[in-house]
Amino acid sequence: MRILKSSFAVVERRAEHAVKFFYSHLFWHNPGIRDLFPASFEDMERQRDRLFAALTHVVSHLESETLVPYLRDLGRDHRKFLVGPEHYAAVGASLLAALAETSGEAWTPAVEKAWAEAYQVIADAMTAGADASTQPPWWDAEVVRHLQYGQDIGVLTLAPRTPLPYRPGQYVSVSSDRVPTTWRTYSLGNAPRPDHTVDLHVSRIEGGRLSTALVRDIQPGELLRLGAPGGRLTLRREDRPITFIAAGTGWAPVRAMVEELVDHPPDQDVRLFVVARDAAHLYDRPLIDEYAAACDWLGVTYITPAPGQHRNQATDRLATALGNRSLWRERDVYLSGPALFLEETLHLLEELGARPDRLFHDAVPAAGSARTRPLGFGEWFLHRPAPHWHDPSARAPRED
């Protein structure tokens, strides 16, 4: 493990060169693979960012028990790209070539052996995840309703042609023929329904071609593709008090879990903090108020900046509101929002006494404000483009 981490520290300093070399090597030696990737420069740039973010995540979690489940889920999800054994071999060869090129004199036979063995473990776990799945690679789903809130938020109701099995709080990757070969991840915004329809909550990202199409252009009757559900932001029915904290369209998975509790009310109290960049972005407030009025176990707090103040004031107000609450050690806490928001809120909750093993969220990049050293290039990739804390990329896999 140590040799991989020290080697990766060298590669981090030339991350952009490493990723560009990887894709150049991959496409030169395997020209047929190019068709599996986005055609536009902007989407390929984001694809490069996601590759290095994923690699950084793997290296930083080498000793974590969550790594193998993460890789198995990744392999299962990659079936939507029609990935086969030959693709894993090609990617492995190009990855080692890029690491060698970037490492210079630090690339020794021992380092090469360690990376080759590590990649084989990664490929084996991903392949096992794909082979073990009994689900289809994707689900075709028709858009049956499209609601738009302002210019930048859309809620799409989809009717999959075959039922999509999932748990409240999970997410799916989404693709549209309007932006071919591009997939982005969005949370499912409802608990399972008798008619099997599902909701996607989408916040448009400036320059994001798919998010823009989903919010502004998609019409009822169009088909989307949905990848296999993933994520572990799902309820643990442990008979403990619960707190939900949702920022922006990170409300979607929290809404799904709240719906689950409405159908099966808890014995303990539930706190809900809904954070938005301004009052206009509390797009689901009528439903939340309805739940609060009907459920005596649910307490709701809305967090927005004061009128005319910068949206960052909302995070300050959230910190104050959380600090005024007590007994965090006894609560299960579920958080959903963009990576930077999650990182800051998790750090605050731990300072307030919350138990780390009772803080539930999907993967958050290990980086950022809590560190004493400057960001390395690997961490820069994880936070590029700079996150808007109202966007749907609430978990590490999501960005547009």
Residue 393: inside a domain: no
CA 74/CA 382 separation, integer angstroms: 17
What element of type H or E holds 190? none
Q: Are residues 257 and 374 in the same domain?
A: yes
| Residue 385: cis peptide before it, omega within 30 degrees of 0 | yes
Residue 39 has a pLDDT of 67
Contact between 18 and 50 under an 8 Å Cβ cutoff? The reply is no
Considering the domain architecture, whether residues 112 and 52 belong to the same structural domain is answered as yes
Task: Please indicate, yes or no, if residue 400 is contained in any of the structural domains.
Answer: no
Judge if 19 and 120 occupy the same domain: yes
Percentage above 90 pLDDT, the chain: 52
Give yes or no: residues 8 and 125 share one domain: yes
Examine residue 232 and state whether it is found in any structural domain, yes or no: no
What does 74-127 look like in DSSP terms, one character per residue?
HHHHGGGGT--HHHHHHHHHHHHHHHHHHHGGG--HHHHHHHHHHHHHHHHHHH
Same domain, 283 and 342: yes
Cα separation, 173 vs 274, whole angstroms: 24
Which CATH number belongs to the domain containing residue 277 in this structure? 3.40.50.80
Domain boundary residue, one of 110, 132, 154: 132
pLDDT (tens digit per residue) in 329-362: 999 999 999 888 898 999 999 999 999 999 999 8
Q: Is 203 in the same domain as 113? A: no
Given 172, 202, 226, the domain boundary residue is 226
Q: Are 168 and 208 found together in one domain?
A: yes
Instruction: Check whether residue 114 and residue 156 sit in a common domain.
Output: no
287-298 burial string, b = 16+ CB within 10 Å, else e? ebeebeeebeeb
User: Do 156 and 285 reside in the same domain of the chain?
Assistant: no
- The reported pTM is 0.77
Range of the domain at 147: 139-226
Looking at the structure, do residues 208 and 251 belong to the same domain, yes or no?
A: no
Number of domains in the chain: 3
| CA 166-169-171 angle, 5° bins | 65
Which of 177-181, 204-208, 374-378 is the least confident region? 374-378
Q: Which tokens sit at 166?
A: 């999932």
Is 355 a member of any domain?
yes
Q: Kindly tell me if the per-residue pLDDT of 25 is higher than 80.
A: yes
- The count of residues in the chain is 400
pLDDT of the residue at 271: 96
H helix or E strand, kind and range, residue 80 = none
Within 71-168, strands assigned E span: 139-149, 153-160
What's the confidence (pLDDT) of residue 42? 65
Helix (H, G, I), strand (E, B) or coil at 375: coil
CATH number of the domain to which 195 belongs:
2.40.30.10
Instruction: Let me know if residue 352 belongs to a domain.
Output: yes
In a domain, 153, yes or no: yes
Instruction: Write 258-261 long-range contacts (CB < 8 A, 24+).
Output: 258/291, 258/298, 259/168, 259/190, 259/191, 260/168, 260/191, 260/235, 261/235, 261/295, 261/297, 261/298
**Token pair belonging to 33:** 């693979």
Least confident of 96-105, 238-247, 366-375: 366-375
DSSP strand pairing (223-226 vs 139-149): antiparallel
pLDDT band at residue 76 using 50, 70 and 90 as cut-offs = confident
281 lies in the same domain as 211: no
Would you say residue 73 lies in a domain? Answer: yes
Distance CA 215, CA 296 (A): 35
What CATH number is associated with residue 7? Answer: 1.10.490.10
> Which three-class secondary structure state does DSSP give residue 329?
helix
Per-residue model confidence (pLDDT) at position 389: 34
Phi/psi of residue 28, each to 5°?
Answer: -65, -45
